[in-house]
Structure formats: C-alpha cells, structure tokens
Structure 1
C-alpha cells in the first residue's frame, strides 16, 4: 500500500476529474473519505453519504445529526482543532473559505472540492484544522 503522502497525491489527482455531487462527492464526504483512506479509520461519512442531493438537503441532514455548522460537526467528530490552521500538515482536515467547507491540507495550501471543481486556498484562508 502506498505511503500516506502518495495516497494524498493520488486522491488529489482523482478529485480533479470527478464532478461535484452533493451527498456523494462534496466537501464533507470527500474530506472524511480521504481521512478514512489515509488513516484506515472508521467510515464517518457513512452517516450522511447519499442522504441529500442539494445544499439545502445537506444542511437539513447536518441539523438532524445534531450539528448547526460545519465547525460544530468537525469538533464533534474530530475533537479539538489545532491552535491555528497554520500548524496543519499534509493530510490534516481543514475548514476554510468564504463559505466554509471541509478540505485537506496539501502542504502550503488546502484542497477543497466545490461545484466548480478542485480548488486550493492558502492555509491562511482556513479557520480551523484537525490533525489526522
């Protein structure tokens, strides 16, 4: 099995060609699926995968699961975040962007899946980060 960094780069390449789809390949499913793939941990996204097909549906499912925000979701599922997102390392989960979304640290930038495709933001544009 390839090392963690190789798996991260392979996942980023795969995400470039995959269309965004709510509940299947959106910020939360992608980030938590990648976390599972990198760590061999539990399939956390199984709780919401496939249960919505729009942004409104995503918010509805999130609230039904007890989270009012992506930050609350991250804190509940991942615990306390790092002191600053600038401490993130490759593979760590990130929360960032103007309309906050989950992403993955890819070095000096964080990667996010969005309707317009795979996007990258500087770590300084992120508000929270969790060690994977």
Structure 2
C-alpha cells in the first residue's frame, strides 16, 4: 500500500501526541503499537491497526492477536509489512515510525514502536513497569529500525 501524507498532518500529529501524554498505557487502547498506528492515521488517514484495535487487553492477548492476523508478533516485521522497507535512522523525519529496544524483553521482537516527534526524538508509550510508564521520549540514535510514513 502506498501511503501519502495529507495536508495538515503536522497539526494532527501534534494533537495526537498531546492527547497521548495524559493517558496511561493500556493494552488494546493506548499502547506502543496503537500509538504508531494513530500516527500513521494522523498523517495519512489510513489506520493500519483497524483489524486488531481494541481486540486485546493484555500482553499475551496482543501477541496472540498479532500472530492470528499477521502470522508474527515481531513488531519490526509487522512495521515493514505495513509501511515498506526500513530506512536508515539518519533519514528518519518527524512523523516516521521507529522501533526502540526494550531491555530484557524478547516478546514483540524485543522492541516497542514509536513515532518521531518534533525535535527528532522517538515518542513511545511504555507500560508502568518500564521507566515510569506512559508517553516517553527516546533519542533517535537508540532506535534499531525506522520506516517512512508517506
């Protein structure tokens, strides 16, 4: 699928990130995959999570749902399938999707998805067990993967 950024994407992305700031992490409602999908939708109008949004309530259910729909729960593989080939981190720009490693996690390919926000940092939603939980910003150079959105 060829995605194209729609006029006004910058304002929609910023509004989406502001709304995420005050929300606690919640599987199936407000998690790293849905933040990335919300960003893609804000930029392009396409919701890549339409087939599984709201259909899981735990980490295990998320993994099972992703495997059922896509055949894998590895988030880097899923992002490549949905967004196309990876791009070098140095080419990533605001609104693109990135994958940040999660220390000690093997599930989901050992990464969480996020969106590159203003200032070149990666905004990710983390569970309360990780760095205090909620929306966190990470330096782009810690990311392992990046994908162009539109």
TM-score, normalized by length of structure 1? Answer: 0.90
5+ residue gaps in structure 2? 1-5, 103-109, 128-132
Residue pair 1:97, 1:121 contacting (<8 A) in 2 also: no
The equivalent of 2:20 in structure 1 is 15
The alignment of Structure 1 onto Structure 2 pairs a total of residues equal to 130
The equivalent of 1:27 in structure 2 is 32
The equivalent of 2:116 in structure 1 is 105
Partners of 2:28 and 2:52 lie apart in 1 by: 7
Q: Does 1:70 align with 2:75?
A: yes
Aligned pairs for 1:40-79 (under 5 A) are 40=45, 42-65=46-69, 66-79=71-84
Q: CA deviation at 1:68?
A: 3.9
The equivalent of 2:136 in structure 1 is 119
- RMSD after superposition: 1.7
5+ residue gaps in structure 1? none
Q: CA deviation at 1:23?
A: 0.9
Q: CA deviation at 1:102?
A: 0.8
Q: CA deviation at 1:64?
A: 1.2
Runs of 4+ residues over 6 Å off in structure 1? none
TM-score, normalized by length of structure 2? Answer: 0.80
Q: CA deviation at 1:50?
A: 1.4
The equivalent of 2:86 in structure 1 is 81
